Amino acid sequence: MTDNRNYLGHRNGIPAGRRGECGDYLLYADRLYKTYPDGEVRALNGVSLGVHQGEYVAITGPSGCGKSTLLNMLGVLDVPDNGEIYFRGQPLTTRRDLDNFRARQIGFVFQSFFLIPTLTARENVQVPMFEGPRLSARERAKKADDLLALVGMSQRAHHRPMKLSVGERQRVAIARALANDPVLLLADEPTGNLDSENADKVLDLFTALQKDRNLALIVVTHSDEVAERADRVVKMRDGRVVADSGADIIPTSDSAATS
Amino acid sequence: MYFVSFILKNLARRPIRTVLTVLGLAVAVGSMIALLAVSYNVERSVEAAFDSRRVDLVVMQKGKPMGWDSEFSEYFVRETAKMPEVERVSEGIVGNANIERDGVLVDLGILLVQGWKPDNFGYEDLQILEGRRLLPGDRRKVMIGSTLANNLKELSKIGPIGHRVGDTLTFVGDPKNPYEIVGIFKSPVIFEDGGAIVPFEDGQELHSKRGKVTGFSVRVRKSAPDSQAEVETVKRKIEALRDPDDPYVVVVADTPDKYVQSVSQLELIRAVSWLVSVIALVVSVISLLNTMTMSVLERTQEIGILRAVGWPRRRVVRMILGEAACLAAAAALVGTVIAFLGMQTLTKMPKVNGFIEPDLSPWVMARGFALTVMVGVVGGAYPAYRAARLLPTEAIRHD
Ligand SMILES: Nc1ncnc2c1ncn2[C@@H]1O[C@H](COP(=O)(O)OP(=O)(O)OP(=O)(O)O)[C@@H](O)[C@H]1O
Ligand SMILES: [Mg+2]
């Protein structure tokens, strides 16, 4: 799917020296800027970041430094004022079907789970399946059961979120994020509301997903423990990346091979 | 899970609000349906009667749309009957009369008392339930409609009043001449059922119209069953007639459907039902707007999540419109029941039951349903727009 003409032809594209790199990345954010309409500060001030398929990246930094803003941009929930995001070498921000892209390629996990209170665990997992690949109601239910089994929640499939512990809720939320088999999982403080035991379960799950499904993970976190589990830690401050433990890593060919 | 199940679960989340909204809409929609039905039924019954009585033209005095204030000389009837294209004519006297009991007026609202000749077209589809019909030579005899019979029967529980065959009725202004009830009938025309029929000459006296008629119906000899040419000819000839004794009286001869459109009482019912329908629809839309807007506002975060998991705006719009449409559909169902019960209640009220048949025709129900679904779409449109405009990042920011 790597199509070099596409990004080479892009006017605001990637600097010449990094062109080869971009095509290898699953997701590449190129100098993103963002100022909120009512905000005085620049939430993002020229952030560039590339993530490979199957890579596990932790983003850390002080409160208000722009982590969530960056994560939302990477998940195309929001568009930058300036800069471009490339998915497998293709620019994203000008695409018209961003919802569809998000439905198929990206899974979101949040600190507060955001499950729908009236739906059971099994039904919550099916919510994203109305978009993405076409499935019958039976297939949706079957897939939800499989995903709940994957996160170890089969026993509680018919419970509503209120009846679940917070750790269980987060695992249901992860199952929901996987509903359409995304290639990228974005998590904003996924263990922020969990005790260490439940946090461990979630982190184990992340590691397993990375290994078994070759899923790329970008996890925003304050916790060192979470950061330790990642392949790579990106530190942010005042809307910039100030340190990146994986910046020097030469992209391996496996991402190109899988794409 | 089906998309529809999700919509229903959203509605089930606030059961009391959902039920109250549905009830509110149902009352509005129900009154609308009931009035549509009343107006439709009266008109249909008149049209159907003209149809079954094979009436081609209805002749009334020009400029007297109330029907019973029309009056003109029997001359017109005689001259029309002589026309070679005319098969038969059937004249009648119609007026409002009141019944009295021991010199005291019994208030039955509008009570139509018609005077019929023995060969009136109306006898052809009149069903005699008890006793007999009026016969040639009858004087001071009356047949009462089944609705009037029931109303009188109810009144007889309070004090003696004639309501059975063999009893007598006294009309206000004519106390020396009590009428003997000879029969109880059922007519296809709703308001005939709420009234009474007396011999033609008695009717003229009762309504102080000696030598006059209120109007008459004409059957035209036609070359083909639905040929209108002869009808047109007869219409022109009747309208050209002038009474030598009173040349200023002019009559109009209309086809039955045109006549029904012009009767002002029916027009009034139509106008009222239209007005109430509009009010009911506006109230429904506002109520639905209120409910759905609140529902969207309190689900801001949830809608943000739906967007985050990949729902496009149009699916959010479909969800909200779907919820509004479900509320409206439920309201249409409950409203139909309310309409039916409401009409049943009206038929127990003597002052109006002469005009009401508690029957919901499929046409009326379909129309009520269509209007209600329209309410759903209109009332859901703005909340859906609001929901679609929510920014997912805003919605999920307050983590
Ligand atoms: N919708 C918004 N409107 C205005 N300003 C915003 C909005 N969202 C974020 N900001 C501002 O942008 C900056 C970056 O916010 P962001 O939420 O990305 O920080 P963060 O690194 O995720 O912080 P935390 O660790 O507290 O979650 C902050 O100054 C914040 O106040
Ligand atoms: Mg944040």
Report the CATH number at residue A216: 3.40.50.300
State both tokens at A242.
Answer: 């100030």
Mean pLDDT across B166-195: 89
Report how many domains make up chain A.
1
- Domain span including residue B247: 53-255
pLDDT of residue B348: 82
pLDDT of residue A22: 62
pLDDT digits over B297-333, tens only?
A: 999 999 999 999 999 999 999 999 999 999 999 999 9
pLDDT of residue B107: 81
Among B350, B263, B348, which residue's Cα sits nearest to residue B43?
B263
Among B213, B256, B177, which residue's Cα sits nearest to residue B78?
B213
| Residues B121 and B93 reside in one and the same domain | yes
Give dist(CA B221, CA B218) in Å, integer: 10
Nearest chain B residue to A97 by CA distance is B312
Nearest CA to ligand 1 atom 28: A64
| Residues B117 and B222 reside in one and the same domain | yes
Report how many domains make up chain B.
2
Cβ B311–A117 below 8 Å, yes or no?
Answer: no
| Residues B273 and B303 reside in one and the same domain | yes
Nearest chain B residue to A178 by CA distance is B309
| Residues B11 and B130 reside in one and the same domain | no
How many beta carbons lie within 10 A of that of residue A236, not counting itself?
A: 24
Q: What string of pLDDT tens digits covers the 259 residues of chain A? A: 333 333 333 334 444 445 455 668 999 999 999 999 887 888 999 999 999 999 999 999 999 999 999 999 999 999 999 999 999 999 998 888 899 999 999 999 999 999 999 999 999 999 999 998 999 999 999 999 999 999 999 999 999 999 999 999 999 999 999 999 999 999 999 999 999 999 999 999 999 999 999 999 999 999 888 899 999 999 999 999 999 987 654 444 444 334 3
Give dist(CA A190, CA A184) in Å, integer: 15
Out of B233, B255, B277, pick the residue that ends a domain: B255
Chain A residues with beta carbon closer than 8 angstroms to that of B393: 72, 77-78
Q: Is residue B198 part of a domain?
A: yes
pLDDT of residue B90: 96
Give dist(CA A191, CA A250) in Å, integer: 30
Cβ A108–B312 below 8 Å, yes or no?
Answer: no
Out of B206, B226, B255, pick the residue that ends a domain: B255
What sign does the dihedral B312-B316-B321-B323 (CA atoms) show?
Answer: positive
Mean pLDDT across B183-198: 91
| Residues B271 and B251 reside in one and the same domain | no
Give the pLDDT band of residue B381 (cuts 50, 70, 90): very high
- pLDDT surpassing 90 at residue B158: no
| Residues B320 and B239 reside in one and the same domain | no
Mutate to test the pocket of ligand 1, among A32, A40, A67 (most ligand atoms within 8 A of CB): A67
- Domain span including residue A101: 5-258
**For testing contact with chain B, the best of A130, A139, A188, A222 (most B CBs within 10 A):** A130
How many beta carbons lie within 10 A of that of residue B99, not counting itself?
A: 23
Q: Is B15 exposed, middle or buried (0-12, 13-18, 19+ CB in 10 A)?
A: exposed
H helical segments located in B53-112: 75-82
Measured in Å, residue A112 CA sits from the centre of ligand 1 at 16
pLDDT of residue A248: 53
* Ligand of minimum distance to the alpha carbon of A66: 1
8 Å CB contact between B138 and B199: yes
3-state SS class at A33: strand
Q: A128 — contact with chain B (CB < 8 Å)?
A: yes
Instruction: Compute φ and ψ for B187, nearest 5 degrees.
Output: -115, 150
Q: Is the CB of A39 under 6 A from ligand 1?
A: yes
Cβ B310–A128 below 8 Å, yes or no?
Answer: yes
Strand positions, DSSP E, chain B: 57-61, 72-73, 86-96, 99-101, 104-106, 112-116, 127-131, 141-145, 168-171, 179-186, 196-199, 212-213, 215-220, 251-254
| Residues B95 and B184 reside in one and the same domain | yes
| Residues B91 and B236 reside in one and the same domain | yes
Q: What ipTM score was computed for the predicted complex, to two decimals?
A: 0.86
* Ligand of minimum distance to the alpha carbon of A240: 1
| Residues B201 and B143 reside in one and the same domain | yes
Residue B102 half-sphere exposure toward CB, CA atoms < 13 A: 4
Place of tokens 């019909």: B133
CA of A4, closest CA in chain B: separation in Å? 27
CA of A101, closest CA in chain B: separation in Å? 7
Beta-sheet pairing, B141-145 with B179-186: parallel
| Residues B251 and B107 reside in one and the same domain | yes
Chain B residues with beta carbon closer than 8 angstroms to that of A114: 301-302, 304-305, 396
Q: Is A224 exposed, middle or buried (0-12, 13-18, 19+ CB in 10 A)?
A: exposed
CA B276, B281, B285 angle in degrees (round to 5)?
Answer: 150
Q: Is residue B74 part of a domain?
A: yes
pLDDT digits over B57-112, tens only?
A: 999 999 886 777 899 999 999 999 999 999 999 999 999 888 888 888 888 888 89
Instruction: Find the helix packing angle between A196-213 and A166-177, rounded to 10°.
Output: 20
- List, in sequence order, every residue forming a beta bridge with B181; answer none if it has no partner: B142
Give the pLDDT band of residue B398 (cuts 50, 70, 90): low
Out of B221, B255, B289, pick the residue that ends a domain: B255
pLDDT digits over B340-365, tens only?
A: 998 888 888 877 777 777 788 888 88
C-alpha distance from residue B157 to each of B130, B179, B194, B368 (Å)? 20, 20, 19, 39
pLDDT of residue A5: 35
Residues with Cβ within 8 Å of residue A151, at least 6 apart in sequence: A171, A172, A174, A175, A205
Give dist(CA B271, CA B261) in Å, integer: 12
| Residues B209 and B144 reside in one and the same domain | yes
Measured in Å, residue B314 CA sits from the centre of ligand 2 at 28
| Residues B242 and B274 reside in one and the same domain | no
C-alpha distance from residue A193 to each of B50, B131, B146 (Å)? 79, 87, 76
pLDDT of residue A255: 40
Nearest to B308 among A77, A112, A137 (CB): A77
Mean pLDDT across B251-262: 90
Mean pLDDT across B42-69: 86
CA of A246, closest CA in chain B: separation in Å? 28
